[in-house]
Amino acid sequence: MDREILVEKLQGIVGKNGVFTRPADLLVYEYDGSVDGAVETATPSAVALPTTAEQIADIVILAREAGLPVVARGAGTGLSGGAVPQQGGIIISLTRMNRVLEIDREDRTALVEPGVINLELSEETLPHGFFFAPDPSSQKACTIGGNVAENSGGPHCLKYGVTTNHVLGLEIVLPDGRIVWTGGRSAGVSGYDLTGAMVGSEGMLGIVTKALVRLTPSPESTLVLLAPFADIESASHATSRIIAAGIVPAALEMMDNLTIQAVEPAYHAGYPMDAGAVLLIEIDGSTDDVRGTGVEIAALCVESGATEVRSATERAERDLLWKGRKMALGAMGRLAPNYYLHDTVVPRSKLPATLRRVEEISRDFDLPIANVFHAGDGNLHPLMLFDRRVNGSTERVLEASKEIITYCVDVGGALSGEHGIGTEKRGYMTLVYTADDLAAMAGLKNSFDPTGMFNPEKLFPKGYMCGEVRALRMQAMAQKLGIHAL
């Protein structure tokens, strides 16, 4: 289809001011929050900004006629390249679908459009006594639709679970233009859990146009503890002891010395500059319970070698302690011009050994690595600091990443805790999955999107989806049945 005709038709669907086509406008949509140079990208043909599910269905059908891929996009804060248009095509930006349609206090649910900003949903529901629990560090900017696509987490997911635990139902536009509803308005589900299959599918199976999400009651009381340790080892040990004691803190975050060096001078959160690591622990619940658990955790920290334990209950004090953690990425600019943030998970019991290995890799590759992460659920976030302008530095970072990822998988971990696979980690999927495992996933993709039109070149290893899937399945089957080609 001629580009001019395409644009005209898009304008017919979403109106003139709902389509971006100028090169300067399109440039922005080639990127997301992932590291430039680590992810392939391409210029989209056009960006459409629909306001209804019906408009999205019409855009999808138009894209199909034009033979163009479709990439859905929220705020573009993703770190794995999930919203990057690797083969161009039409970008569907969901930022104009940003209404909270309904808050149901008694049923503790909210019906929202995909472009609603994560933090704004919590702000809107707080007066009703509720909040939306998943809280990615980008929560001031990222959207619920993006959270659903990546199954996003955040510090408080230790206690409250990730996005999939908070989505009850979804309205979705499928690759054939149909609009379907998955799940229910109440606790029960009828039939296959399509909502579960959709959450975390990275925009490859459908485009979310409405989400019915669970709201969580605001706790009566919240306590934040800061415990500095001489080294990472003893902070890890304290983490293990807290969890093994059966305590479930709302959040349990660790920052190492390098992170403190970046953060403390910037925000004066009160982290001791000479600490090898600090733990930031939040507990919430009833006032009595919080007080009791706080004392228990403090004792475990001191027994594990904490040099002191500071506590904050007032909002302003708590926010200050958290500020250093939440703004850690922003502060890294003080240490190096660029950073590459990884997201891998290891079984909690493997944390100390994994952190030692990360330190070795840092030495081997002569690459400073800051660690600021969700210790409570074993979700590492090694931050590699570098300068892109130095020749070969990006390549070195990617090499070091490979070492880290391989190690984490070897000790029984996962490729991603909350950032998704996207295009960043597709090459690593075979580390975790066999050909048969991947074929099962590809079968799911094929059932929703047989032509591979939604968000191509994501999640599956390169070359994997180009018609090879059926061949692979047949081959596996033939092997299993003992059928051999003559």
Positions in 237-276 near its own copies (CB under 8 A): 240, 243-244, 246-248
Binding-residue total with its own copies (CB under 8 A): 93
424 to 453: interface string for its own copies, x by CB under 8 A: -x---x--xxx-xxxxxx-xxxxxx-----
CB of 128 to its own copies, least distance (A): 10
Helix, strand, coil percentages in the chain from 3-state DSSP, rounded to 5: 40, 20, 40
User: What is the distance between the alpha carbons of residues 51 and 125, in angstroms, rounded to a whole number?
Assistant: 23
Q: Please identify, among the stretches 297-305, 309-317, 329-337, 342-350, the one whose residues bind its own copies according to the rule CB under 8 A.
A: 342-350
Examine residue 57 and tell whether it contacts its own copies (CB under 8 A).
yes
CB-neighbour burial class of residue 3 (10 A; exposed 0-12, middle 13-18, buried 19+): exposed
For residues 104 and 233, which CB has a smaller minimum distance to its own copies in the complex? 104
Contacts of residue 269, defined as CB under 8 A and 6 or more positions apart, other chains included, come to: 263, 320, 321, 323, 324, 325
Q: Do 113 and 130 contact (CB within 8 A), yes or no?
A: no
139 to 168: interface string for its own copies, x by CB under 8 A: ------------x---------x--xx---
Under DSSP, the state recorded for 374 is: E
Examine residue 12 and tell whether it contacts its own copies (CB under 8 A).
no
CB of 413 to its own copies, least distance (A): 5
Tokens of 35: 């590291």
Residues 373-402 that bind its own copies (CB under 8 A): 377-379
For residues 388 and 473, which CB has a smaller minimum distance to its own copies in the complex? 473
Which residue, chain included where needed, has tokens 């855009």? 59
For residues 293 and 338, which CB has a smaller minimum distance to its own copies in the complex? 293
Under DSSP, the state recorded for 218 is: P
Angle between helices 393-410 and 351-364 (to 10 degrees): 160
Examine residue 286 and tell whether it contacts its own copies (CB under 8 A).
yes
451 to 470: interface string for its own copies, x by CB under 8 A: --------x-----------
User: What is the distance between the alpha carbons of residues 484 and 54, in angstroms, rounded to a whole number?
Assistant: 49
Examine residue 476 and tell whether it contacts its own copies (CB under 8 A).
yes
Which of 96, 310, 323, 473 is in the footprint of its own copies by CB under 8 A? 473
Q: Please identify, among the stretches 13-21, 69-77, 189-197, 387-395, the one whose residues bind its own copies according to the rule CB under 8 A.
A: 189-197
319 to 338: interface string for its own copies, x by CB under 8 A: --------------------
Which of 4, 24, 127, 191 is in the footprint of its own copies by CB under 8 A? 191
Which of 417, 452, 457, 465 is in the footprint of its own copies by CB under 8 A? 417
Residues 98-117 that bind its own copies (CB under 8 A): 104-108
DSSP states of 335-370 as a string? Answer: T-SEEEE--EE--GGGHHHHHHHHHHHHHHTT--EE
Smallest CA-to-CA distance from 91 within 486, 460, 403, 456 is with 456
Smallest CA-to-CA distance from 224 within 297, 307, 152 is with 297
For residues 115 and 219, which CB has a smaller minimum distance to its own copies in the complex? 219
